[in-house]
Structure 1
Amino acid sequence: MGRTKRRARTTLRRNEAVRGIDRLVRNVETGRFERSLSGLTAVGAVVTAGEIYFEHDKASFGDPWMWAPIVLGPVGAIAGVAGVFSKTAAKTLLPIAAATIVANGLQGTWLHARGVAQKPGGWRNARYNLEMGPPLLAPLLVTLVGGMGLLAAVLRREK
Structure 2
Amino acid sequence: MPRLVRRTAPLEQAQTALRDVRTGRFERTMSALTAAGAAVTAGEIYLSHDGASFGNKMMWWPIVVVPAAIPAGIASVFSRRAAHTVLPLASAAIVANGLQGTYLHWRGISQRPGGITRYNIEAGPPAFAPLLASLVGGMGLLAAVLRREGRPPQGDRADGA
Q: Report 1:1-159 matches (<5 A).
A: 23-28=16-21, 29=23, 31=25, 33-123=26-116, 126-158=117-149, 159=151
Q: Against the structure 1 CA distance between its residues 30 and 149, is the aligned structure 2 distance closer, same or farther, given a 3 Å change threshold?
A: closer
Q: 1:23 deviation in Å?
A: 4.8
Q: Which amino acid aligns with 1:141?
A: L
Let me know the Cα RMSD of the aligned residues.
1.4
Q: TM-score, normalised by structure 2?
A: 0.80
Change (3 A) 1:30 1:53: closer
Question: Between the two proteins, what is the percent identity of the paired residues?
Answer: 63
The 4+ residue runs of structure 1 with deviation greater than 6 A are none
Deviations 1:69-98 (CA, angstroms, capped at 9, x unpaired): 111222110110011010000000000000
Structure 2 unaligned residues grouped into runs of 5+ = 1-13, 152-161
> Aligned partners of 1:85 and 1:147: how far apart in 2?
20
SS in 1 for 2:128: coil
How far did residue 138 of structure 1 move?
Answer: 0.6
What is the aligned residue count? 136
Which structure has more helix as a fraction of its residues?
Answer: 1
Structure 1 equivalent of residue 156 of structure 2: none
The question of whether the paired residues in 1 share the 8 Å contact of 2:24 and 2:146 is answered with: no
